[in-house]
Amino acid sequence: MKKIKLLILGITVLAFNGCYDPPAREMQGLDYDSLDELVNTSDRVLILKKLENELNFIVEEEEYLSFKFSVIEKIKGSSSEGDEIFITFLKSDLDDLFVLDKRLKKFDQSFDDQEYLFFLIGRARKNIFPKELGGSLWFKNGNPSIFELRKDSIGIISKEILLQSQNKSFLEILEMPETKFLSLVRSFNE
């Protein structure tokens, strides 16, 4: 009997040690000053490529756009390569996005043929959202949380005011090749 109790206690301890502790909601969806803070507060960090599907809908007088992406690589979270995921944006937030690479320019909202690194937060889907979105709503985790991947450089997609006032750690990313940037992101998740 004593061995059974010890076995149950051991299994319980191991189960609680291996549990994933998600980031606190009050730490998500903010304007971030560092890449490690962005990684640590995100539910998923994924390299994605846009598919053709888009949904445009209105919920509680707010206009939303959802883009369907294919998972190229999972850095953090429970997605697998080849999974398909919708990422939802408030239309007003999407209209305020700019890209900073060599210069600042308006984001065209196409998510063209490039691959993108997304830092995402998940929320339970309310029944008022379209069923096609699945069981969870996935949103970008604050600003900056979308990076355009190119072989020789990185584009940061965020609000204009934040891109103009970015601190040195994010500006250094602009000069990094894709492989170095992704290695840095992976190192924060270890």
Q: What pLDDT score was predicted for residue 18? A: 45
What is the domain-level CATH number for residue 69?
A: 2.40.50.120
| pLDDT at 62 exceeding the cut of 80 | yes
- Arithmetic mean of pLDDT, 105-124: 88
| Whole-prediction pTM | 0.82
More confident residue, 60 or 162: 60
Residue 19 pLDDT class (50, 70, 90 cuts): very low
Q: What's the domain count of the chain?
A: 1
Note whether residue 159 is domain-resident: yes
Q: What pLDDT score was predicted for residue 91? A: 93
Q: What pLDDT score was predicted for residue 165? A: 75
Q: What DSSP letter does each residue of 17-48 carry, written as one string?
A: HT---PPPGGGSSSB-S-HHHHHHH-SEEEEE
**167, HSE (Cβ side, Cα atoms, 13 Å):** 8
- Arithmetic mean of pLDDT, 37-45: 92
Write out the residue range of the structural domain in which residue 46 sits: 24-188
Note whether residue 15 is domain-resident: no
* pLDDT, mean over the chain: 84
